[in-house]
Every structure is written in structure tokens, then in C-alpha cells.
Amino acid sequence: MKAPSILALAAALSSCTLPPPDQPASPNRTGRFLGLVASCGCSDITPQRMLAEYPLAVAGLYFQAEIRNMHGYVDVGAHENYDNQIEICAGVCSQTCMVNAVAKPLGGRLRGDGATCLVNERDLHLGTGVRRDSGRPF
């Protein structure tokens, strides 16, 4: 009896796939990433400048309506201040080629060898904000 259920589970798990690396991250996650790149100091782009010019960084990747709606997420990322913000920023800034992909179209300072890559759903990692006084993630 156990063999068929193990096989069924294995088949179900093997059908799960990650998004392809050439698929841009969802607009809300990309927006937060853009804001965090600015607020964390991953480049020399200020949060105010990112909010004003972020459409240049995502031009051609999203529909215009998605780019307009992304503004709120850029604003959220640019002004986050969780108790674990240092860890969140370390994680964001360590994604060097994605940071460069955002900074380059805006004329910002590039990191590492200056290589860029798509801010894609599969490889974009964003930390979850935590307030230590409540112990709950936000």
C-alpha cells in the first residue's frame, strides 16, 4: 500500500517546477526590490530618485499599467524599517547582477564586475520584515 502512495507523491512533486529564469519577477516583488536597492544603499540612487525614475529601470519588461501600479511597492521598499532591516538589505545588495540591472538604466553606481541580469521570479530573494516587539513577520 505504501509504494503506490510514495509513487504518487513523487509524481506530484516532480510536476512542480520553478518559474523560468527569463520571466521577470512579479511587479509587486520587483517594486519592493527597487525600493530596497535605493534605501539599502546598494547603489548611489536615493529613494526619492528611485521613486521618480524607476520606470526607466523596468521599461520593456511590464505593461504600462503594471509599471504605474508598481509605484506603491517601490515606495514601500524605499521606506521599510523593520527590526531585521540589516539582514534584508544584506540579502538585497548581495544580488549583485540584479542590483546592477536596476542601477544601470538610472546611471547609478554598479557593483562587482558591473554584470547585469534580469530581476526574475526564480532568483529574486527578498527577506521578510520582522518586528521584534510583536514577534510576527510582516
Read off the pLDDT of residues 75-116 as tens digits, 9 standing for 90 and up. Answer: 999 999 999 999 999 999 999 999 999 999 999 999 999 999
Taking each helix axis as running N to C, give the angle between helix 27-39 and helix 47-58, from 0 to 180 degrees, rounded to the nearest 10: 140
Closest listed residue to residue 129, CA positions, set 82, 70, 76, 71:
82
53 domain-assigned = yes
99 domain-assigned = yes
User: Which structural domain range is residue 53 located in?
Assistant: 19-137
Which pTM does this prediction carry? 0.82
56 domain-assigned = yes
Q: How many domains does the chain have?
A: 1
131 domain-assigned = yes
64 domain-assigned = yes
Read off the pLDDT of residues 116-131 as tens digits, 9 standing for 90 and up. Answer: 999 999 999 999 999 8
In terms of phi and psi (left: phi > 0; alpha: psi -120 to 50; beta: otherwise), the region of 124 is beta
Read off the pLDDT of residues 13-31 as tens digits, 9 standing for 90 and up. Answer: 555 565 666 789 999 999 9
10 domain-assigned = no
